[in-house]
Structure 1
Amino acid sequence: MSQATTALSNLFNATPNLTAAYYYNLETGQTVSKNTATLITSASTYKLFIALFVIHQIETGKLSWNSAYPYSSGTVRSGFYDMIHISDNTFPQWIIAKYGKATIDTYLKSQGYKGIFNNSDHAMTSANDLGNILKYYNSHSSDSNVSYLLSLMKNQVYRSGIPAGTGQVVADKVGFLWDVRNDAGIVYDKHPYILVLMTNNQTNFDLICRISKQVQTIVG
């Protein structure tokens, strides 16, 4: 076990209120994790999976970026933009109503994920699934639709978690609900990596920022 791996493992396991964590070095495959398989309240990180479903609908010709959308400025592209850029809930709720939870989860499970509608009250996911979907987006970044998603993630408005902590360019999606604060992103350091941090008993992203800063110090 490398010195960095040990340090990251110690950091994750010693941090109270860090429910789950996942680190993956995109160059070496080095992985450090905590409680990654458990399904946890996703908050708005579930929108990464809605995005995957929408992109699949577009790439199979069942939907287009210019398809009518009854809110925002009236197209799927505008709703998708709002879902990622400002974490608006209207578009994903419209997609869920249009296709149904079962259809979305069947697709996600066919792609190797656990699904997001395992709880009737709110969406749930695991740090492992968040890490894997970010791996997918990173490896398919030459796809124009994925590239568009990543550009939105790099410029989404909630920057006080992983982006603030690492000080790097980060394509991330945050989630906040009740006392849950989650952040999942691709950190474009000189040695790029994926970082997923899921926390509870929080009122802001300060804990995620602090952990991210320590991670960057260890691996940067």
Structure 2
Amino acid sequence: MHPKFLPLLFCALLSGSLKAQQQPIDALQTDAALTAKLQSLIAGHQGHAAVFAEDLATGHTVAIDADTPVQTASVIKLTILYTALEEIRDGKVSFTDKLTLTRGGQVPGSGVLTFFDTPVTLTFKDALTMMIVMSDNTATNLAIDHLGLKNIDDQIVALGLKNTWLYKKVFQPAEGPMPADQKQFGLGKTTAREMASLFERFVTCNLNAPGTNIPATTEDHDLCEAAMHMLRNQFYRDSIPRYLESVDSTEAPSEIANKTGALDAVRNDVGVVYTKSGPIVLSEFTWDNKDTSWTVDNAAEVLMAKIAKEIVEGWTAK
């Protein structure tokens, strides 16, 4: 086996065999003491927060308002990335597919493609990479067009995610009949628990339909490795990685992979922290935040960083 597959194999084994060793009465054990600490942090925040985290080695979980539907902002881009892996796996698209960006396809917000001279041609993998690493909105819309919005939402449904949805392209009006809650959630909605379950699929390289357990192939591992490489190189690192990153991730491989999302009163981050005892998946969403500043010390960003630190240090100290 190629050495690059070992971390993915390790995670897959943790997700399967170690979970099977948990007590049958409650395989995913809730950490009450840790929950109390997190609730205390959240109580001091001027806004709302939802959290779900799971230690994939032990099965321990912590959940606070984890089933409350929330605005995703750019975290919904994870559903696009996951759908891309499935569509590539099925031979419907390829990382090497050529996409052409025109001036009419450029939208504002995060990213750099909006500043490029057009027309310009990118590969599908280029678009996905920019969508994740820089949260590039223009690249996101290119990826949505290539996959099809309906296909992405169909994939979400196929995964059994009942409160997750991508409504539209970024900075584009919603088209056709829309669910009644689209105006409330904007680009997309999810819950902390559901987005954690999606992120876990990247970590464990689980591209199977729910209820099936087929070992990942070499090709599957290549796809998962490509996705995790993008997520490890996430540009926005002021939340989950803030107090946990131990290296300059621009020069050395990071042990943290994540995807953020932000609006004026919304700050979100979902990711995984690889520890010596195994990977910990974290899913954090904040909304109605009083602090709407766009600085590294935004109160919600700092809150999510403190929550991540409490969870990781709490579980790795055991």
**TM-score under structure 1 normalisation?**
0.90
The equivalent of 1:157 in structure 2 is 235
The equivalent of 2:282 in structure 1 is 195
Aligned positions, number:
218
Poorly superposed stretches of 4+, deviation over 4 Å: none
The equivalent of 2:14 in structure 1 is none
Aligned with residue 76 of structure 1, among 124, 128, 147: 124
The equivalent of 2:104 in structure 1 is none
The equivalent of 2:270 in structure 1 is 184
Identity %: 27
For 1:86-105, list aligned pairs within 5 A. 86-105=134-153
Q: Return 95-104 or 53-62, whichever deviates more.
A: 95-104
SS at match of 2:31: helix
Tell me by how many angstroms 1:98 deviates.
4.5
The equivalent of 1:211 in structure 2 is 307
Superimposed CA distance per residue, residues 97-119 of structure 1 (whole angstroms, 9 cap, x where no aligned partner): 44543332122111112332352
Structure 2, unpaired ranges of 5+: 1-25, 102-112, 114-120, 168-178, 207-219, 247-254
For 1:1-220, list aligned pairs within 5 A. 5-14=31-40, 15=42, 16=45, 17-71=47-101, 73-114=121-162, 115-116=164-165, 117=167, 119-120=182-183, 121-140=186-205, 143-167=221-245, 169-191=255-277, 192-200=279-287, 201=289, 202=291, 203=293, 204=298, 205-220=301-316
Q: Return 135-144 or 152-161, whichever deviates more.
A: 135-144
Name the aligned partner's letter for residue 213 of structure 1: K
Tell me by how many angstroms 1:166 deviates.
2.3
Kindly indicate whether the alpha-carbon contact (under 8 Å) linking 2:31 and 2:62 is maintained by their aligned counterparts in 1: yes
SS at match of 2:242: helix
Kindly indicate whether the alpha-carbon contact (under 8 Å) linking 1:7 and 1:218 is maintained by their aligned counterparts in 2: no
**TM-score under structure 2 normalisation?**
0.64
SS at match of 1:24: strand
- Looking at structure 1, the residues matched to 305 and 192 of structure 2 have their Cα atoms a distance apart, in angstroms, of 17
Tell me by how many angstroms 1:54 deviates.
1.2
Name the aligned partner's letter for residue 39 of structure 2: N
Tell me by how many angstroms 1:83 deviates.
0.4
Superimposed CA distance per residue, residues 152-177 of structure 1 (whole angstroms, 9 cap, x where no aligned partner): 11111111111122235211101111
Which structure: greater helix fraction?
Answer: 1
Structure exhibiting the larger radius of gyration computed from Cα positions: 2
Kindly indicate whether the alpha-carbon contact (under 8 Å) linking 1:12 and 1:18 is maintained by their aligned counterparts in 2: no
